[in-house]
A and B are shown apart, each in its own frame.
Chain A
Amino acid sequence: MNMSAFQAVVIGASAGGTTALQKILAMLPGNFPLPVIVAQHVHPHQESAARIYKDIGLLKIKDGDEKEAIQPGFVYFAPPNYHLLIENDHTLSLSIDPKVHYARPSVDVLFESAADAYRAALIGIILGGANQDGAMGLLRVGQYGGLTIVQYPGEAEVCFMPRAAIETANPQYVLPVKKIISLLIEITTQHLDEAAHAR
């Protein structure tokens, strides 16, 4: 696998993935070279997840805006009650299409559009949650040659989402959160090294 080729990370979770998500956001270094785009199931009237996680870690955390250009150094959250999609030109789109698996934002919707936009250059991660949303999306990420990672269900607060993703998408990695973080860092430092080398 060519580790240097990644361009973005997408993460899916529901309320049951909050702790894992917090850990990841807290541990990623400020110079993490890939943009991170997150769909987490939240109540439609809840304040935005971006605000809840705002002061965690070194990356800039915000709600994704429509037509916003995706940039490294940022973590974009789907706003409550909107689906977040990625266009092929690597900008964000929002929609209020019907819920998918009772969820808006839906992880499937984000992952499927991300897979189209980034193809093999995408890392997809499914964390804890109580819903099968995300399983089909992760399958799509894998089909396009992207890297697929699922949180080890034994560790997740709510393990239905990771289990469904494992069954459907047969991911390359099933790991506890700590290992997911070190894998991300390892892949991307290699990325930096290779970039430096190429220069």
Chain B
Amino acid sequence: MNPEEIEKIELDLFLDALNWRYGYDFRNYARASVRRRARQILAKSGMKHLSDLIPKLLHDEQFAVHAINEFSITVTEMFRDPTFFKTVRQTIAPYLKTYPFIKIWVAGCATGEEVYSLAVLLQEEGLYDRVKIYATDFNTDALKKAVDGIYALKDIQLYTGNYQKAGGRQAFSDYFLAEYNSAIIDQALKSNIFFANHNLVTDGAFHEVQAIFCRNVFIYFDRSLQNRVAKVFAESLTHGGFLCLGSKESIEFSPVFDQFKVIDAGQRIYQKKV
């Protein structure tokens, strides 16, 4: 057996241990990326083999949190893919206006930038007051940051550009308070957002939501996990509800795809058939 085949066994064992001990299951994540993260965890640890880390994983909860954080990539931006947000404004917002109450689920919200972008958009479309946004992730540390809504001021420049390209109508700075090196999200934007821990691998559907945003999460899943989650989304949406995925993601392979029509193929916007 060559060293990489042995490494593969070690990685399987490591992921099994993480799952059985802590209930975080990365076994059906795209393997090349998981392997890369595992090698980084190993490199930082100073140990020689991934299997050397399994006892530590089992008995040291601190280390487990570190490993879970390494495996869940929380990279995000405000108004990432401005054209997408522009399309949401043009195609989804008018539809949402026909509802007196709106429920939206942002799954895999990471540190919150995306959900606050959505809040800004809904505010400008006059929809924010009748919306409840459930923003979920399984990464507790990321969720804490999302709740705080405090971001590095230096990133705001990029975000401002994104916001304008996304069809933003105001001064972006109206939505936060600048303090030292931080931008603190305006309290009013937070009032209708509910952050919660939800694991897409193990947890179930929400009820009767009009739109789901789950962007740049599917790319990390293998097909079987993508199928599971696509099914959860199909169950959660009302008829006529929208599913928005990341620019490189799709549900076209999934058995639930026939419940949807494609609203914008390029922006990966789907609508559950009525």
Q: Which residues of B have CB within 8 Å of A157?
A: none
Q: In the bound complex, do residue A93 and residue B75 qualify as a contact, i.e. CB atoms below 8 Å apart?
A: no
Q: Which residues of B have CB within 8 Å of A119?
A: 4
Q: In the bound complex, do residue B33 and residue A88 qualify as a contact, i.e. CB atoms below 8 Å apart?
A: no
Given the contacts A67-B223, A96-B73, A96-B75, A85 and B248 also touching, CB distance less than 8 Å: no
| Interface 1/0 per residue, A125-145 and B, CB below 8 Å | 000000000000000000000
Q: Which residue among A65, A95, A109 has the maximum number of chain B CB atoms within 10 Å of its CB?
A: A95
Q: CA separation between A86 and B30, bound complex, in Å?
A: 10
Nearest-CB residue, chain A, relative to B223: A67
Residue A28 lies at the interface, judged by CB distance under 8 Å to chain B: no
Q: Please, how many residues of chain A have a CB less than 8 angstroms from a CB on the other chain?
A: 21
Interface residues of A in 58-117 (CB under 8 A from B): 65-67, 79, 82, 85-88, 93-98, 109, 112-113, 116-117
Q: In the bound complex, do residue A116 and residue B4 qualify as a contact, i.e. CB atoms below 8 Å apart?
A: yes
Residue B219 lies at the interface, judged by CB distance under 8 Å to chain A: yes
Among B75, B248, B253, which residue has its beta carbon within 8 angstroms of that of A94? Answer: B248
Q: In the bound complex, do residue B32 and residue A85 qualify as a contact, i.e. CB atoms below 8 Å apart?
A: yes
Given the contacts A67-B223, A79-B248, A93 and B73 also touching, CB distance less than 8 Å: no
| Interface 1/0 per residue, A174-198 and B, CB below 8 Å | 0000000000000000000000000
Q: Give, as a whole number of angstroms, the nearest-CB distance from B197 to chain A.
A: 22
Q: CA separation between A67 and B33, bound complex, in Å?
A: 13
Nearest-CB residue, chain B, relative to A108: B36
Q: In the bound complex, do residue B36 and residue A65 qualify as a contact, i.e. CB atoms below 8 Å apart?
A: no
Nearest-CB residue, chain A, relative to B76: A96
Q: CA separation between A97 and B248, bound complex, in Å?
A: 14
Nearest-CB residue, chain B, relative to A95: B33
Q: In the bound complex, do residue B249 and residue A116 qualify as a contact, i.e. CB atoms below 8 Å apart?
A: no
Q: In the bound complex, do residue A97 and residue B73 qualify as a contact, i.e. CB atoms below 8 Å apart?
A: yes
Q: In the bound complex, do residue A98 and residue B75 qualify as a contact, i.e. CB atoms below 8 Å apart?
A: yes
Residue B130 lies at the interface, judged by CB distance under 8 Å to chain A: no
Q: CA separation between A96 and B218, bound complex, in Å?
A: 11
Residue B216 lies at the interface, judged by CB distance under 8 Å to chain A: yes
Q: CA separation between A67 and B219, bound complex, in Å?
A: 9
Among B32, B223, B248, B253, which residue has its beta carbon within 8 angstroms of that of A116? Answer: B32
Among B220, B223, B253, which residue has its beta carbon within 8 angstroms of that of A95? Answer: B220
Q: In the bound complex, do residue B33 and residue A65 qualify as a contact, i.e. CB atoms below 8 Å apart?
A: no
| Interface 1/0 per residue, B15-32 and A, CB below 8 Å | 000000000000000111
Q: Which residues of B have CB within 8 Å of A96?
A: 73, 75, 216, 219
Among A65, A82, A87, A98, which residue has its beta carbon within 8 angstroms of that of B32? Answer: A87
Q: CA separation between A67 and B220, bound complex, in Å?
A: 10
Q: In the bound complex, do residue B223 and residue A86 qualify as a contact, i.e. CB atoms below 8 Å apart?
A: no
Q: Which residues of A have CB within 8 Å of B37?
A: 97
Q: In the bound complex, do residue A87 and residue B31 qualify as a contact, i.e. CB atoms below 8 Å apart?
A: yes
Q: Which residues of B have CB within 8 Å of A113?
A: 32, 35-36
Among A82, A86, A87, A109, which residue has its beta carbon within 8 angstroms of that of B248? Answer: A82
Q: Which residues of A have CB within 8 Å of B36?
A: 85, 97, 109, 112-113
Q: Give, as a whole number of angstroms, the nearest-CB distance from A160 to chain B.
A: 24
Q: Which residues of A have CB within 8 Å of B32?
A: 85-88, 93, 113, 116-117
Among A86, A87, A95, A109, which residue has its beta carbon within 8 angstroms of that of B219? Answer: A95
Interface residues of B in 224-274 (CB under 8 A from A): 248-249, 253
Q: Which residue among A66, A79, A117 has the maximum number of chain B CB atoms within 10 Å of its CB?
A: A66
Q: CA separation between A79 and B31, bound complex, in Å?
A: 19
Q: In the bound complex, do residue A65 and residue B31 qualify as a contact, i.e. CB atoms below 8 Å apart?
A: no
Q: Which residues of B have CB within 8 Å of A93?
A: 30, 32-33, 219
What are the 5 A-B residue pairs with the smallest beta carbon separation, nearest first? A85-B32, A113-B32, A93-B30, A94-B219, A95-B33
Please give the residue numbers on chain A whose beta carbons come within 8 Å of chain B beta carbons, in ascending order.
Answer: 65-67, 79, 82, 85-88, 93-98, 109, 112-113, 116-117, 119
- Contacts A66-B249, A97-B33, A113-B35 known; 19 new A-B pairs at CB < 8 A: A67-B223, A67-B253, A82-B219, A85-B32, A85-B33, A87-B31, A88-B32, A93-B33, A94-B248, A95-B220, A97-B36, A97-B73, A98-B73, A113-B32, A113-B36, A116-B4, A116-B32, A116-B35, A119-B4
List 18 A-B pairs, Cβ < 8 Å: A66-B30, A66-B219, A66-B248, A79-B248, A85-B36, A86-B32, A87-B30, A87-B32, A93-B219, A95-B219, A96-B73, A96-B216, A97-B33, A97-B73, A98-B73, A98-B75, A112-B36, A117-B32
